[in-house]
């Protein structure tokens, strides 16, 4: 190729072999954000031998998603996710093409179509009510042991989010704090997430892949195998049930039914979803939908505990709009503009996947005057875009008020706020996540007055981040719930 380096975006000079690996370090979203100051909003890096372009402003993201979405809508697949050929059959890591389009459409219909999502509101309500009950019991147990009644909120949020997915996919509550049911699955899932989130040398230096130098693939093979085996059993059971129910059509109950009943698109393309593919898609919804949702609610709670004034405003709004003896419901979300603003502000500062999911250039293209070759990895730093002073006043402060006067949504049209991504690969779960995050947060606030123990002071709470599959709080949030007795009936 006769492309000069001038035609590439600017970026720091790398080292031989490892390229710019040191520049991205262990907190890539933060380090890339710092490089923006020196190199501007579009950055070029060599991560080992992988050409990488990083997009870090709303304007550059708009250019990418509006005019180059198709060229960049393939995924770069981490080596770990090729375990058991997971990527072939995955919506999140599937290569762009006909099969992917069909799977994606099916998922979107189940997760985004308003009627389908409305039908399942009571399932989510149940999972959230269980969560508040468990929190209350856990706090009581702590006090009985002479403690302060402090609870690990993040743990119960994760159980809740996991059960929401479990109910939608399989019509099952998979986790209860005390019972063993579901824990094998939960454990395997967590391990898969751990291996999936670990930076892997094999991804940067593909010639080392066969060596699996960090042992990540080996561990992934074991734990992905465990997780798949469990879900495959659920799928098999359902297939058997369907056989026995003969030709009479059972009412479509959940996501698994929708997938197994798929009969082609009438155009002779993929005409059936295999049991294997069904297993992968269902598993993926747990990966994609549980920790993202629970860590968003956790960050929102942390921010509100740091800013008692904002917490008071949410509480007052709920009391005013919903009243003292009714529970917040999903249909009330639009009537609670301050709560909605708190969630937007949380997703601006703490997007669950700060670098979205890596894309891959399917062809050579010209982007903003730069020559971007085929197979370039494309990273969009949503975390940096949410902190960009060109888009936001006082970007580092948590100020939900900023959204009260401005109509900015996170549906992929306002490029300064893209925690769910944008374009053809936008998160298909965002309508579901939107509901669960608001409802869970409102319920935590409605059910309890929250205090932090003496060792923590509002305003100076620890905000250190931990990078994994999602961006979590390093130290899980603990707080003391004080039961409020105002909520009596539905
Ligand atoms: C607060 C919660 C969530 C956040 C912040 C989030 C964020 C994201 C982001 C940033 C992407 C990549 C988008 C892109 O490349 O442009 C994504 C993809 C995806 N998400 Fe979510 N997500 C959340 C919840 C969910 C839920 C609840 C589900 C389903 C149950 C889900 C399913 C998926 C799937 C299947 C993909 C892959 C889409 C594709 O590659 O075509 N997500 N999500």
Distance from the alpha carbon of residue 285 to the mean position of ligand 1, in angstroms: 9
Lowest mean pLDDT among 249-258, 317-326, 402-411, 426-435: 249-258
**Ligand 1 atom nearest residue 436's Cα:** 27
Which comes out higher in pLDDT, residue 226 or 325?
226
How close is the Cα of 239 to the center of ligand 1, in Å? 27
ipTM: 0.99
| Probe target for ligand 1 pocket from 298, 417, 427, with the most ligand atoms within 8 Å of CB | 427
Which of 218-232, 256-270, 367-381, 470-484 bottoms out in mean pLDDT, i.e. has the lowest?
Answer: 256-270
Task: Confirm if 139 and 481 have CB atoms less than 8 A apart.
Answer: yes
**Which protein residue's CA is at the shortest distance from atom 3 of ligand 1?**
292
Q: For residue 173, is pLDDT > 50?
A: yes
Q: What is the Cα–Cα distance from 159 to 186, expressed in whole angstroms?
A: 9
Q: What is the dihedral of CA 17, 19, 22, 26, to 10 degrees?
A: -90
Residue 3 pLDDT: 57
Helix axes 430-447, 308-322, angle to 10 degrees: 90
Q: What is the pLDDT of residue 103?
A: 92
CA of 17 to the centre of ligand 1 (A): 33
Atom of ligand 1 nearest to the CA of 93: 40
* C-alpha of residue 287 to centroid of ligand 1, in Å: 10
At 431 the pLDDT is 94
Is 259 strand, coil or helix?
helix
Lowest model confidence (mean pLDDT) among 321-335, 352-366, 476-490: 476-490
31-35, 97-101, 327-331: segment of lowest average pLDDT? 97-101
Ligand 1 geometric centre to CA of 485 (Å): 36
Query: Which comes out higher in pLDDT, residue 173 or 418?
Result: 418
| DSSP-derived 3-state class of residue 226 | helix
Query: Of 40, 43, 64, 65, which Cα lies nearest the Cα of 54?
Result: 43
Burial code of 351-387, b = ≥16 C-beta within 10 A, e = fewer?
A: bbbbbbbbbbbbeebebeebbbeeebbbbbbbbbbbb
Distance CA 459, CA 452 (A): 11
pLDDT bucket at 347, cuts 50 / 70 / 90 = very high
- Find the range with the poorest average confidence among 271-280, 290-299, 357-366: 271-280
Residue 380 has phi, psi (to 5 degrees) of: -110, 120
- Mutation to probe ligand 1, out of 429, 430, 435, 437 (largest number of atoms < 8 A from CB): 429
Task: Name 96's Cβ contacts closer than 8 Å, sequence gap at least 6.
Answer: 73, 74, 75, 362, 424
Instruction: With cut-offs at 50, 70 and 90, classify the pLDDT of residue 355.
Output: very high
Residues in the chain: 490
288: CA distance to ligand 1 center in Å? 6
Closest ligand 1 atom, CA of 437?
Answer: 1
Q: Kindly indicate the confidence band of residue 469, based on its pLDDT and cuts at 50, 70 and 90.
A: confident
pLDDT of residue 109: 87
Pairing of strands 377-380, 50-55: parallel
Q: Are 127 and 263 in contact (CB under 8 A)?
A: no
Ligand 1, residues at Cβ distance < 6 Å:
91-92, 104, 107, 111, 165, 284-285, 288-289, 292-293, 296, 351-353, 356-357, 419-422, 425-429, 432-433, 437
The secondary structure of residue 263, as a DSSP letter, is: -
State the Cα angle at 165 between 160 and 168, rounded to 5°: 125
CA dist 323 to 92, 333, 334, 341, 392, Å?
41, 14, 16, 20, 34
What pLDDT sits at residue 458?
Answer: 58
DSSP 274: -
Nearest ligand 1 atom to alpha carbon 351: 5
Binning pLDDT at 50, 70 and 90, where does residue 243 land?
A: confident
């Amino acid at each position: 190729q006769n492309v000069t380096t001038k035609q590439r975006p600017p970026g720091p000079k790398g080292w031989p072999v490892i390229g710019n690996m040191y520049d991205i370090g262990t907190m890539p979203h933060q380090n890339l954000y710092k490089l923006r100051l020196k190199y501007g909003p579009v950055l070029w890096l060599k991560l080992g031998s992988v050409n990488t372009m990083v997009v870090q402003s709303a304007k550059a993201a708009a250019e990418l998603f509006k005019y180059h979405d198709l060229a960049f809508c393939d995924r770069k697949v981490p080596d770990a996710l090729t375990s058991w050929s997971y990527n072939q059959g995955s919506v999140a890591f599937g290569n762009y093409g006909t099969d992917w389009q069909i799977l994606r459409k099916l998922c979107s219909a189940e997760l985004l179509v308003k009627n389908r999502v409305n039908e399942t509101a009571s399932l989510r309500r149940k999972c959230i009510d269980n969560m508040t009950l468990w929190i209350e019991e856990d706090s009581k147990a702590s006090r009985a042991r002479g403690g302060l009644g402090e609870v690990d909120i993040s743990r119960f949020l994760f159980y809740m989010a996991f059960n929401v997915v479990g109910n939608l996919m399989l019509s099952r509550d998979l986790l209860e704090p005390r019972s063993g049911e579901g824990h094998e699955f939960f454990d395997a899932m967590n391990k898969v997430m751990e291996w999936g989130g670990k930076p892997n040398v094999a991804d940067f230096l593909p010639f080392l892949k066969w060596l699996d130098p960090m042992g990540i693939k080996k561990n992934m093979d074991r734990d992905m195998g465990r997780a798949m085996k469990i879900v495959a059993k659920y799928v098999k059971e359902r297939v058997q049930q369907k056989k026995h129910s003969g030709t009479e059509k059972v009412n479509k109950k959940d996501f698994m039914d929708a997938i197994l009943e798929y009969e082609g698109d009438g155009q002779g393309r993929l005409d059936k979803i295999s049991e294997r593919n069904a297993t992968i898609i269902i598993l993926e919804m747990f990966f994609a939908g549980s920790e993202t949702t629970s860590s968003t609610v956790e960050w929102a709670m942390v921010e509100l505990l740091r800013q008692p004034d904002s917490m008071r405003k949410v509480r007052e709004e709920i009391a005013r709009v919903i009243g003292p003896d009714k529970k917040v419901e999903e249909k009330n979300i639009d009537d609670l503009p301050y709560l909605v603003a708190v969630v937007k502000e949380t997703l601006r500062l703490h997007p669950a996947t700060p670098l979205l999911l890596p894309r891959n250039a399917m062809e050579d293209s010209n982007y903003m005057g730069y020559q971007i070759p085929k197979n370039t990895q494309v990273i969009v730093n949503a975390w940096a875009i949410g902190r960009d002073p060109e888009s936001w006043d006082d970007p580092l402060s948590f100020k939900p008020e900023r959204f009260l006067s401005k109509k900015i949504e996170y549906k992929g049209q306002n490029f300064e706020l893209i925690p769910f991504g944008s374009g053809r690969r936008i998160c298909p779960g965002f309508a579901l996540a939107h509901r669960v995050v608001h409802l869970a947060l409102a319920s935590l606030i409605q059910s309890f007055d929250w205090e932090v123990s003496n060792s923590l002071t509002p305003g100076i709470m620890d905000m250190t981040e931990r990078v994994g599959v999602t961006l979590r709080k390093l130290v899980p949030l603990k707080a003391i719930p004080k039961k409020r007795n105002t909520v009596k009936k539905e």
